[in-house]
Structure 1
Amino acid sequence: MTNSSILTLDSVTLVLPDGSPLFTDLNESFDLRHTGLVGRNGVGKSLLGQLLAGLREPSQGRCLRHGRVHHLEQQLLANSATLADLAQVGGTLRALERIERGSIDPADFDAVGDRWDIRARLQAQLQGHGLGHLDPHCPANRLSGGQAMRVALLGAWLSEADYLILDEPSNHLDSSARAMLLEMLQGWEKGLLVISHDRALLGHMARIVELSPLGLRAYGGDFDFYRQQSTAQAELAAQQLLRLKQQRQRQALAMQRRRENLERHQARAGRQARQANQAQILLDRQQQRSQATAGRQCREQQDAKVALDEQVRQAARQVEREVPIMLHVPTPQRHAGREVLALEGLCLPRGTTNALDLRLCLGQRLGVVGDNGSGKSTLLRVVAGELAPRAGSLRLTGEVALLDQHGSCLEPRQSAVEHLRAANPRLQRDELHRRLAQLGIDAARIALPGALLSGGERLKVALAGVLYREQPLDLLLLDEPNNHLDLPSLEALEQLLRQFKGALLVVSHDHVFLHNLILQDYLRLG
Structure 2
Amino acid sequence: MPSLVCHHLRFDWPNGEPVFADLDATFPDGLTGLVGRNGSGKSTLLRIMAGDLVPTAGSVSGPERIAYLPQQLVLHADRTVADVLGVERGLRALERVTAGAGTDDDFEAIGDRWDLEAELTATVERLGFVDLDLTRRIGTVSGGEAVLLALAGLLLGEPDVLLLDEPTNNLDRRARGLLTEAVRRWRGPVILVSHDRELLETVDHVAELREGGLRVFGGTYSAYAEALAVEQEAAQRAVRSAEGDLKRQQRELLEMRIKLDRRQRFAKSQAGNVPPIVAGAKKRAAQVSAGKLSGGHEADVAQARRRLEDAEDAVRDDDVIRIDLSRTAVPAGRDVLLLDGVVLRNGARVDTQLRGPDRIAVVGPNGSGKTTLIDTVVGTIPAVDGRVDLRVPTRLLPQRLTGLDDSDTVLAGVSRLAPTADDNTLRAELARFLLDAETVVRPVGSLSGGERFRASLAALLLAEPAPQLLILDEPTNNLDLDSVAQLTAALNAYQGALLVISHDEPFLTDLHLTARLDLTTSPATVTPTS
Shorter-chain TM-score category?
0.7 to 0.9
Q: Counterpart of 2:47 in 1: which secondary structure?
A: helix
| Cα distance in structure 1, aligned partners of 2:322 and 2:113 | 52
- Within a 5 Å distance, the mapping from 1:452-467 to structure 2 comes to 452-467=446-461
Indicate yes or no: 2:288 matched with 1:292.
yes
Indicate yes or no: 2:228 matched with 1:204.
no
How well do the aligned residues superpose, as a CA RMSD in angstroms?
3.2
**What's 1:143 paired with?**
141
| Cα distance in structure 2, aligned partners of 1:69 and 1:402 | 40
Tell me how many residue pairs correspond in the alignment: 504
Q: How many angstroms does 1:225 deviate by? A: 1.1
Indicate yes or no: 2:485 matched with 1:485.
no
Q: Counterpart of 2:327 in 1: which secondary structure?
A: coil
**What's 2:99 paired with?**
none
Indicate yes or no: 2:383 matched with 1:385.
no
| Cα distance in structure 1, aligned partners of 2:497 and 2:203 | 36
| Cα distance in structure 1, aligned partners of 2:403 and 2:120 | 38
C-alpha distance after superposition, 1:222-249 (max 9, x if no partner): 1111111112212221221232133222
Indicate yes or no: 2:41 matched with 1:44.
yes
Quick one: structure 1 residues 507 and 14, their matched pair in 2 at CA, closer, same or farther if it must change by over 3 Å? same
| Cα distance in structure 2, aligned partners of 1:314 and 1:27 | 22
Q: How many angstroms does 1:156 deviate by? A: 1.9
Indicate yes or no: 2:418 matched with 1:409.
no
Indicate yes or no: 2:162 matched with 1:175.
no
**What's 1:185 paired with?**
183
Provide the TM-score with structure 1 as the length reference. Answer: 0.86
C-alpha distance after superposition, 1:440-465 (max 9, x if no partner): 44555544544444444433322222
Alignment match of 1:215 (pick from 204, 213, 216): 213
| Cα distance in structure 2, aligned partners of 1:463 and 1:327 | 12
Percent of matched pairs sharing the same residue: 33
Q: How many angstroms does 1:301 deviate by? A: 2.7
| Cα distance in structure 2, aligned partners of 1:412 and 1:86 | 38
Alignment match of 1:318 (pick from 307, 310, 314): 314
Provide the TM-score with structure 2 as the length reference. Answer: 0.85
Indicate yes or no: 2:358 matched with 1:364.
yes
| Cα distance in structure 2, aligned partners of 1:86 and 1:457 | 39
**What's 1:107 paired with?**
none
Paired AA for residue 31 in structure 2: H
Q: Is the 8 A contact 2:411 2:440 kept in 1?
A: yes
Indicate yes or no: 2:462 matched with 1:468.
yes
Q: How many angstroms does 1:342 deviate by? A: 1.3
| Cα distance in structure 1, aligned partners of 2:199 and 2:377 | 32
Q: Counterpart of 1:76 in 2: which secondary structure?
A: coil
Quick one: structure 1 residues 164 and 496, their matched pair in 2 at CA, closer, same or farther if it must change by over 3 Å? same
| Cα distance in structure 1, aligned partners of 2:506 and 2:211 | 27
C-alpha distance after superposition, 1:334-380 (max 9, x if no partner): 54321121112211013xx2422111111111111111011000001
Q: Is the 8 A contact 1:121 1:158 kept in 2?
A: no
Q: Counterpart of 1:471 in 2: which secondary structure?
A: coil
C-alpha distance after superposition, 1:395-429 (max 9, x if no partner): 22121122121113233434433321111123332
**What's 1:127 paired with?**
121
Alignment match of 1:516 (pick from 498, 510, 516): 510
C-alpha distance after superposition, 1:82-119 (max 9, x if no partner): 356994859x97xx99xx9xxxxxxxxxxx9x767799
Q: How many angstroms does 1:505 deviate by? A: 1.4
Indicate yes or no: 2:6 matched with 1:12.
no
Q: Is the 8 A contact 2:80 2:137 kept in 1?
A: yes
Q: Counterpart of 2:392 in 1: which secondary structure?
A: coil
Q: Which runs of 5+ in 2 are unaligned?
A: 97-105, 521-530
Alignment match of 1:305 (pick from 294, 301, 304): 301
Q: How many angstroms does 1:166 deviate by? A: 0.9
Paired AA for residue 33 in structure 2: G
Paired AA for residue 278 in structure 2: L
| Cα distance in structure 1, aligned partners of 2:112 and 2:38 | 38
Paired AA for residue 364 in structure 1: D
Q: How many angstroms does 1:139 deviate by? A: 4.4
Q: Is the 8 A contact 2:348 2:368 kept in 1?
A: no
Paired AA for residue 507 in structure 1: I
Indicate yes or no: 2:73 matched with 1:76.
yes
Quick one: structure 1 residues 324 and 143, their matched pair in 2 at CA, closer, same or farther if it must change by over 3 Å? same
Alignment match of 1:154 (pick from 145, 152, 155): 152
Of 328-337 and 442-451, deviating more is: 442-451
| Cα distance in structure 2, aligned partners of 1:427 and 1:122 | 66
Alignment match of 2:23 (pick from 26, 29, 36): 26
Q: Is the 8 A contact 1:32 1:191 kept in 2?
A: yes
- Within a 5 Å distance, the mapping from 1:264-283 to structure 2 comes to 264-275=262-273, 277-278=274-275, 280-283=276-279
Q: Which runs of 5+ in 1 are unaligned?
A: 101-111
Q: Counterpart of 2:306 in 1: which secondary structure?
A: helix
